[in-house]
Amino acid sequence: MPSKLELRKLARSRLDEAKVLAAAGHYDGAIYLAGYVVELALKARICRILDMNEYPDTGDFGKAFKTHKYDDLLRLAGLQAKFDAAKAANPDLLTNWSLVTNWSEQLRYQPAGTSPATGAQEVIAALEDSSNGILQWIARRW
């Protein structure tokens, strides 16, 4: 599995790739890749909290960490209470979280052309907003 530094780079890279796909009119792919931004960022934070160079993904220990569920990853990252407080105090952060949490790895089975341009743009903006972006919030803690 990638190291915590590689996970950070992958999170940013997936965001860049999502923007390229959205600009090319591939909104379904943009949203799908954008969802992995949050997952990778939280997994990088988990590595920091556990003082591990690589994200655990093998054996019994690794099974507990193999998830795409953001809420589970927030708990594993030790951020659930902090994030809940931040969302309660900041309606823009809550709105951005609401936009990105519609994601599921199951989106890969969605028929082509299902996602509108506005949906992809909103998700990307929710991730990268400089003051209330979800990636920005996590990155300040990874």
Q: Which pTM value belongs to this model?
A: 0.91
Express each pLDDT in 104-123 by its tens digit: 888 888 888 899 899 999 99
- Alpha-carbon distance of 79 to 73, in angstroms, equals 9
List, for residues 35-49, the tens digit of each pLDDT value.
999 999 999 999 999
Q: Domain locations in the chain?
A: 4-139
Q: Tell me which CATH code domain 4-139 carries.
A: 1.20.120.330
Q: How confident is the model at residue 103 (pLDDT cuts 50, 70, 90)?
A: confident
The phi, psi pair for 81, rounded to 5°, reads -65, -40
